[in-house]
């Protein structure tokens, strides 16, 4: 055979393959705007692209894309940089408008309080975070309108039914005072608020008891009583963290100090009768339960009665337990309930 002719033929085929892949790489380079070399020159047949070449091309494309985006961004910045201060101003304005819209939506139906001297009061106030709350009117100190049973007392002891809304009332007072100091309207038909220097809210943590809790709470109360100024102090069941006998003595002295300094104090307590004997200057208000409904829920008028001691009505709780239990438990609860009747 003519081997030279065969070798020349294969050489021509290799030349054609090399020419084709070179042309393909040239066209790809022109489209991508950088030099591309994908095909192997060592093994021209079969024609294939090594995986590492594809990965290198991908990385190069990403690099070129990032560079192009950077250069394009610079062009855009050059065109709009004189607008950036105005854009910032418009964005801030949009935030401001959204804030005002949210405030308007939040305070729909609210009323601006009147700033006064000598007290905090409101008519038909509603708790912000309770669904369909009962409107409540309340006062500590003096008010431009008369409330039956109120004589301008700055220290108030709030007593009454379990789950009757005593803590919620403290929260409502704090909400009205805080919103007033923020310059917002309040969720009440009418409100009068003195501008205060400080507001303290001591809310009992259900899981904290013992000597450590008592010491911490007592130090916090004393810090609230130091110094002068216009202060509102809200206290929720201090006696729960110590013995009732000691609680009466401690609270009585603390409230005397608050009275001497002219602070406003509302304290929730089940020791109202004992404190009333120790503190003739304090008003005792009461929230009372009237009974149980058909679902054995407490029927409570959450509007406090001014100057009236509220009963905690444990007999109603015992009655509910008696009526909802069975077997031996029911018999025991019945005996306890009968002790009240």
Residue 93 phi, psi dihedral angles, 5° rounding: -65, -40
pLDDT given at position 72: 93
CA distance 193 to 331: 52
CA distance 227 to 262: 12
Structure tokens at 262: 């002219």
The reported pLDDT for the residue numbered 48 is 74
Q: Global pTM?
A: 0.72
Structure tokens belonging to residue 72 = 């394009």
The C-alpha angle 131, 135, 136, rounded to 5 degrees, equals 125
Please state the φ and ψ torsions of residue 56, each to the nearest 5 degrees: -65, -40
- Does domain 114-310 fall into CATH 3.90.25.10? no
Dihedral over alpha carbons 270, 276, 279, 285 (to 10 degrees): 70
Domain spans of the chain?
3-81, 114-310
Euclidean distance between CA atoms 138 and 157, whole angstroms? 13
> Which pLDDT value is given to residue 9?
66
Structure tokens at 183: 């310059």
Beta bridge partners of 301: 288
Tokens of 32: 């991508």
Q: Identify which of 297, 298, 275, 301 has the alpha carbon closest to the alpha carbon of residue 288.
A: 301
Per-block mean pLDDT, blocks of 10 residues, the chain (341 long) = 66 75 80 74 69 80 88 90 91 96 94 97 97 96 95 96 88 98 97 98 68 81 94 88 81 96 96 92 92 79 93 80 89 88 72
pLDDT at 127: 97
Give pLDDT, residue 18. 76
């Amino acid at each position: 055979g003519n081997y030279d002719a065969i070798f020349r033929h294969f050489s021509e085929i290799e030349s054609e393959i090399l020419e084709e892949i070179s042309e393909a790489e040239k066209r790809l380079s022109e489209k991508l705007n950088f030099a591309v070399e994908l095909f192997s020159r060592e093994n021209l047949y079969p024609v294939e692209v090594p995986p590492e070449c594809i990965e290198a091309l991908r990385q190069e494309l990403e690099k070129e894309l990032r560079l192009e985006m950077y250069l394009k961004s610079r062009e855009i910045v050059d065109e709009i940089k004189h607008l950036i201060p105005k854009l910032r101003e418009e964005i801030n304005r949009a935030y401001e408008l959204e804030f005002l819209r949210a405030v308007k939506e939040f305070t729909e139906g609210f009323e601006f309080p009147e700033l006064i001297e000598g007290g905090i009061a409101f008519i038909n106030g509603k708790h912000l975070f309770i669904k369909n709350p009962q409107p409540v009117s309340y006062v500590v100190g003096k008010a431009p309108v008369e409330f039956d049973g109120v004589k301008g007392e700055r220290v108030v002891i709030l007593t009454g039914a379990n789950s009757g809304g005593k803590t919620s009332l403290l929260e409502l007072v704090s909400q009205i005072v805080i919103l007033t100091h923020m310059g917002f309207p309040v969720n009440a038909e009418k409100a009068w608020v003195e501008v205060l220097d400080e507001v303290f809210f001591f809310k009992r943590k259900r899981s904290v008891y013992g000597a450590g809790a008592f010491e911490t709470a007592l130090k916090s109360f004393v810090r609230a009583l130091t110094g002068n100024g216009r202060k509102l102090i809200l206290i929720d069941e201090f006696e729960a963290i110590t013995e009732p006998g000691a609680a009466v003595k401690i609270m009585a002295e603390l409230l005397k100090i608050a009275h001497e300094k002219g602070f406003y104090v509302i304290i929730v307590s089940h020791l109202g009768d004992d404190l009333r004997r120790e503190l003739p200057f304090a008003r005792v208000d009461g929230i009372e339960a009237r009974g149980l409904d058909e679902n054995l829920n407490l029927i409570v008028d959450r509007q406090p009665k001014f100057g009236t001691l509220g009963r905690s009505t444990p007999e109603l709780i015992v009655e509910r337990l008696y009526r909802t239990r069975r077997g031996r438990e029911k018999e025991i609860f019945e005996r306890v309930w009968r002790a009240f009747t």
